[in-house]
């Protein structure tokens, strides 16, 4: 089969597969395609193993379109050359398919479901959000926008700045004036850099700004930052101005991860401190009730949250695993992956998604691993 898979960025893939594949049955595969994989191109074997397990559960794989979707996925992998640690692949019997490279190594997984499995895409966007980096000294600056683990745009700025000390016969009379002249040029360079950073923020909006460079230049830079950027200042990179782009990327990832873990602790602590208040939903029962009413503003999930749930056959509410609906007493059907369904419905309501890890996840696990802020 000639492959007709369209390769998209992670945000675009999330948008497109939700829009175009929600009402069809989709073969979704998340595959580890990293160089660290010890079984060679084991992603193909992982796909085949997953498909074998699914095939055994289907009455007629050909009639259900499963085999056509599998053939499309295998045709794509036959020509696939990995460039990223992971791959998300969505194929159908009749509507083609989509692929997105992932910035992390996913656990191999293959499902055949109504609508695509999107939660890992959401998780990657939450973990690898856009960060800006500014390396600044008195006459040079390097600006980067980093998104989903990659440098998406870069800019270099160079301005002439005269030395601090004058030379020549007029040295004694003009030293103070010359020093001021030097400082004026430094301030102009910093202003030029900040203007460029504001332009970058306009084109590639970021929530966090990481800075690096000599202390004296950074002191001026911090003082001149407008409040809009100062509020996004999240950390300092200890890098020389001549650091390679890979060194910049590695350092930014490390600091951003530390900042994200601390932010997640604050998010969970704030929610738990609000237990019992009107806009705080904590635990599966409370969150699912708010979800059914369309009230979710921000969904907060532990990265380890996994649960089997149920869906009412009449009112379609999601429920903890029960035989009867608590609201209309109708019978329910099982929902094997409650996490996926909760994320889908929260996105449909325009909610933001925060997936917490480490210490924050441990705190939330005591509350069933799920919480939310509600609109009312």
Q: What is the DSSP letter of 321?
A: S
- Distance (Å, whole) CA 189 – CA 185: 6
Share of the chain above pLDDT 70, in %: 93
Count of residues making up the chain? 376
- The reply to whether 123 falls in a domain is no
Q: How much is the average pLDDT of 108-136?
A: 96
- Condensed to tens digits (0 to 9), the pLDDT of residues 306-356 reads 988 999 999 999 998 878 888 898 999 999 899 999 999 999 999 999 999
Is 204 within the bounds of a domain? yes
Span 26-41, mean pLDDT?
90
The yes-or-no verdict on residue 364 having pLDDT over 70 is: yes
Helix count and strand count (H, E) for the chain = 11, 17
pLDDT band (50, 70, 90) for residue 164 = low
Q: What is the CATH number of the domain that holds 112?
A: 3.30.960.10
Q: Quick check: 86 pLDDT over 50?
A: yes
Mean pLDDT, rounded, for 355-374: 96
Distance, in Å, from the CA atom of 145 to the CA atom of 129, rounded to the nearest integer, reads 10
Residue-averaged pLDDT of the chain? 92
Would you state the pLDDT for residue 163?
63
* Counted domains in the chain: 3
> Which pLDDT does position 173 carry in this prediction?
43
Are 135 and 256 within one domain? Answer: yes
Residues in contact with 372: Cβ distance below 8 Å, sequence separation at least 6, in sequence order: 280, 281, 286, 287, 290, 291, 296, 297, 298, 299, 300, 346, 351
pLDDT tens track for 225-252? 999 999 999 999 999 999 999 999 999 9
Residue 205 and residue 281 in one domain: no
SS3 category, 163: coil
Nearest Cα to 357, choosing from 265, 255, 251?
265
Residue 267 lies in a domain: no
Q: Which has more pLDDT, 161 or 236?
A: 236
Same domain, 139 and 92: no
Using pLDDT thresholds of 50, 70 and 90, give the confidence band for residue 170: very low
Please say if the pLDDT value at position 167 is more than 60. Answer: no
User: Are 83 and 190 in the same domain?
Assistant: no
Whole-number Cα distances in Å, 283 to 7, 22, 101, 213, 275: 37, 28, 33, 45, 10
Residue 171 lies in a domain: yes
Q: How far is CA 58 from CA 51, 309, 325, in A?
A: 11, 22, 28
Q: Is there a contact between 241 and 137 (Cβ–Cβ < 8 Å)?
A: yes
| Same structural domain, 12 and 105 | yes
Q: Which residues contact 288 (CB under 8 A, 6 or more apart)?
A: 309, 317, 318, 319, 320, 342
Query: pTM of the entire structure?
Result: 0.89
Predicted pLDDT of residue 181: 56
- The position carrying tokens 């301030």 is 187
Give the tokens for residue 273: 């401190």
Whole domain around residue 9: which residue ranges? Answer: 5-116
Contact call for residues 116 and 30 (beta carbons, < 8 A): no
């Amino acid at each position: 089969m000639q492959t007709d898979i369209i390769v998209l960025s992670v945000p675009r893939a999330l948008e497109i597969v939700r829009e175009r594949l929600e009402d069809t049955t989709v073969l979704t595969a998340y595959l580890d395609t990293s160089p660290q994989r010890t079984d060679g191109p084991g992603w193909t074997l992982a796909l085949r193993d997953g498909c074998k397990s699914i095939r055994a559960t289907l009455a007629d794989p050909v009639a259900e379109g499963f085999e056509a979707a599998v053939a499309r996925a295998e045709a794509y992998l036959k020509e696939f050359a990995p460039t990223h640690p992971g791959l998300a692949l969505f194929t159908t019997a009749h509507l083609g398919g989509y692929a997105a490279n992932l910035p992390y190594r996913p656990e191999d997984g293959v499902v055949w479901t109504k609508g695509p499995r999107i939660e890992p895409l959401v998780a990657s966007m939450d973990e690898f959000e856009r960060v800006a980096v500014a390396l600044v000294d008195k006459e040079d600056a390097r600006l980067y926008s980093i998104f989903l683990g990659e440098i998406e745009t870069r800019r270099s700025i160079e301005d002439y700045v005269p030395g601090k000390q004058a030379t020549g016969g007029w040295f004694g009379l003009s030293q103070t004036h010359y020093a001021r002249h030097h400082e004026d040029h430094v301030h102009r360079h910093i202003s030029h850099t900040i203007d460029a950073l504001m332009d970058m923020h306009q084109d590639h909006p970021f929530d966090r700004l990481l800075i690096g460079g000599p202390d004296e230049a950074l002191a001026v830079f911090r003082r001149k930052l407008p409040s809009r950027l100062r509020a996004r200042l999240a950390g300092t990179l200890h890098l020389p101005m001549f650091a390679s782009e890979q060194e910049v990327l590695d350092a930014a990832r490390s600091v951003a991860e530390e900042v994200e873990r601390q932010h997640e602790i604050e998010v969970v602590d704030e929610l738990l401190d609000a237990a019992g208040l009107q806009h705080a939903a904590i635990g599966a029962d409370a969150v699912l009730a708010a979800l059914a009413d369309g009230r979710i503003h921000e969904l907060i999930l532990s990265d380890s949250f996994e649960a089997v749930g149920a869906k009412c056959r009449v009112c379609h509410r999601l429920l903890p695993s029960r035989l009867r609906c608590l609201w209309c007493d109708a019978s329910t059907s099982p929902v094997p992956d409650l996490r996926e369904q909760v994320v889908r419905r929260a996105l449909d309501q325009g909610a933001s998604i925060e997936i917490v890890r480490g210490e924050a996840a441990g705190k939330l696990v005591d509350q069933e691993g799920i919480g939310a802020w509600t609109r009312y």
